[in-house]
Amino acid sequence: MRSLFAGLVRTIVRILALIGAVAVVLGALLLDFVNRATTPERTGDLPGTAVVFTGDFDRIRAGLDLLSEGRVDRLFITGVNGDAGLDPERFATQFSLPPEQVQWLDTGRIVLAPDAHTTIENAWETGCWLDRQPDAGRAVALITSRSHMARASVALRNELWPVGVVRVVSDPGEAFDIRQLSLLDFAEYAATWAITLLPHGFWPGVEPAICLTGGD
């Protein structure tokens, strides 16, 4: 009887320890999620390379503005395809690019990558492109909307490590309200965090063509 009681106590202790460990991990993830979601408007220096994860057109416009203002030197836009409402052949027309910026498409200051359809594929496509840039710096600027920033930035951070990721929100006027925290957004962030720690072979989605061909 005493042995049975001792075994029950050990089982309860192990369960409580497991619950405690899970609570600590979830707490750390929640703090990181809130920190990423509350990214302030960035007015200081930025890395030379900026990356846009498509979704809202405002993200692309924000990237083009930074390039025009000289705050970044080149712009990589991942996910330029029909799912994002974009067409690489009509990109210049869709965003009314002036002649100077149209030339940037030809000279590589603006790079359009068409294969990513998810946040994870965005990070994957960016990583493959950046690996082929001999002048890649120690950090890139990620441009996306505030609601997307948490999972986008953690995916890119895990893909590019040790290259740093500087977060730039395309909608800085939209303040994050912790009271409106979406459990779905947090769950997507946590899943993205876990998946992108794994080797690419375990990532869902299709490997972008740039990763297979080595093209620019």
In this predicted structure, the answer to whether residue 90 has a pLDDT above a threshold of 90 is yes
In a domain, residue 22? The reply is: no
**Which tops the pLDDT comparison, 175 or 193?**
193
Q: Enter the pTM of the model.
A: 0.87
In a domain, residue 30? The reply is: no
**Which tops the pLDDT comparison, 63 or 3?**
63
Q: What is the mean pLDDT of the chain?
A: 88
In a domain, residue 11? The reply is: no
- Please check whether residue 54 is in contact with residue 77, taking contact to mean a CB–CB distance below 8 angstroms: yes
In a domain, residue 113? The reply is: yes
Domain count, the chain: 1
In a domain, residue 12? The reply is: no
In this predicted structure, the answer to whether residue 4 has a pLDDT above a threshold of 70 is no
Q: How confident is the model at residue 24, as a pLDDT?
A: 66
**Which tops the pLDDT comparison, 197 or 183?**
197
Q: How confident is the model at residue 9, as a pLDDT?
A: 63
Share of the chain above pLDDT 90, in %: 65
**Which tops the pLDDT comparison, 195 or 13?**
195
List pLDDT tens digits, range 34-53: 889 888 887 788 999 999 99
Q: Could you tell me the CATH number of the domain that includes residue 50?
A: 3.40.50.620
In a domain, residue 21? The reply is: no
List pLDDT tens digits, range 119-169: 999 999 999 999 999 887 899 999 999 889 999 999 999 999 999 999 999
Question: What 3-state class would DSSP assign to 12?
Answer: helix
Q: How confident is the model at residue 172, as a pLDDT?
A: 80
In a domain, residue 85? The reply is: yes
Q: How confident is the model at residue 6, as a pLDDT?
A: 63
Query: Per the structure block, which two tokens stand in for 163?
Result: 């290259």
- Measured CA to CA, the distance from residue 216 to residue 211 in angstroms comes to 10
In a domain, residue 27? The reply is: no
Q: How confident is the model at residue 13, as a pLDDT?
A: 65
CA dihedral (148, 173, 167, 176) positive or negative: negative
Of 109, 84, 103, 106, nearest to 94 by C-alpha is: 84
Of 143, 82, 138, nearest to 110 by C-alpha is: 143
**Residue 159: which domain range?**
39-172+180-213
